[in-house]
Chain A
Amino acid sequence: MEVPILKQGAVLIATFQAALSDADLNQLRMGLVQQVVKFRSRAVIVDVTAMDVMDSFASRTLREIAHMIRLRGADTVIVGIQPEVAFAMVQLGLTLEGVATALDLEEGLAYLNEKFKTTN
């Protein structure tokens, strides 16, 4: 399953589907980092609104994406985690520590704009 990556100015937006397999996630991880390099993006927003399960593998992949992108000097924001998914994640001890989160795409963009303002 292909994960669509949208380029919006200096920001890349990747939208996850509900039924992503491990292989899809691995592919996305490589794809995103390559695109950040290619477009010299300043930030990536990963939208997980459609994901109804976030297990340890998905959560670990998100953290790895964020860390790799940070090594390229860009930011990552995870947006759209559903309340029930968040509850299950903390039960599993998955807290995405050190990764920025926001309620939805709109909030994620607002967060980045604020950040760009202060670093410009």
Chain B
Amino acid sequence: MSVGEIQVAIKSDQDIVSARQKGRLMASEMGFSSGDATLIATAISELARNIVSYAHKGQITLKMVNGTNRQGISVIATDNGPGIPDIRQALRDGFSTSGSLGLGLPGVRRLMDEFEITSQPGRGTTVAVKKWRQ
């Protein structure tokens, strides 16, 4: 099975749109249902927006991944921004997203099957998420 990989540089809000469009296309081509493709595209949109809002620039990498018996899509968002000082707090469900800018990370976690985050204050943040095809 060939491994497809797409990289999208995120520098402006326009790139958010193009990253999620590429993600949706890739997910559809891989055979994800359109419901799942929507969840994936939405997660990409949130991750790309975090990059623009907090780090100004970064990168989204979309990759096809193989697990035992199943196939999935991996989305990795990296930046060299200020980092997140308190990851635990960032992952806590505010639930009232009203007003505050919010990192949207708990939401992204719910949209996807796997979620991993590493962040170093002053160095940057990497969020890696995966969704498996049902």
Given known A-B contacts A91-B110, A92-B111, A93-B107, A55 and B17 have beta carbons under 8 A apart:
no
Looking at chain B's contact residues, is the secondary structure mostly helix, strand, loop, or mixed? helix
Complex: A45 Cα to B45 Cα, angstroms: 25
What A residues does B108 contact at CB under 8 A?
Answer: 92
Q: Tell me if A35 is interfacial: C-beta within 8 Å of chain B.
A: no
Chain B: interface residue count, which band?
20 to 34
Within 8 A of B (CB), among A63-98: 63, 82, 84-85, 87-89, 91-94, 97
The yes or no answer to B24 lying at the interface (CB within 8 A) is yes
Tell me if A2 counts as interface (CB < 8 A to partner B): no
A84 and B111 in contact (CB under 8 A), knowing A19-B21, A20-B17, A53-B20? no
A53 touches B102 (CB 8 A): no
A9 to B97, CA, bound (A): 35
Interchain CB contact under 8 A, A92 and B104: yes
Residue A107 at the chain B interface, CB threshold 8 Å: no
A-contact bits for B9-22, CB 8 A (1 contact / 0 none): 00001101100110
Task: Please state if B104 and A56 are interface contacts (CB–CB under 8 Å).
Answer: yes
- Asked if A87 meets B35 with Cβ closer than 8 Å, knowing A19-B17, A93-B97, the reply is yes
CB distance A93 to B42 under 8 Å? Answer: no
- Which chain A residues lie closer than 8 Å to B45 at the CB level? 53, 55
Which residue numbers of B lie inside 8 Å of A, CB to CB? 13-14, 16-17, 20-21, 24, 34-35, 38-39, 41-42, 45-46, 49, 52, 93, 95, 97-98, 102, 104, 106-108, 110-111
Given contacts A52-B24, A88-B38, 17 further A-B contacts (CB under 8 A): A19-B21, A52-B38, A53-B38, A53-B42, A54-B42, A55-B49, A55-B104, A56-B49, A56-B104, A85-B38, A87-B39, A88-B39, A88-B42, A88-B111, A91-B107, A92-B42, A93-B95
* B-binding residues in A (CB < 8 A): 19-23, 52-57, 59-60, 63, 82, 84-85, 87-89, 91-94, 97
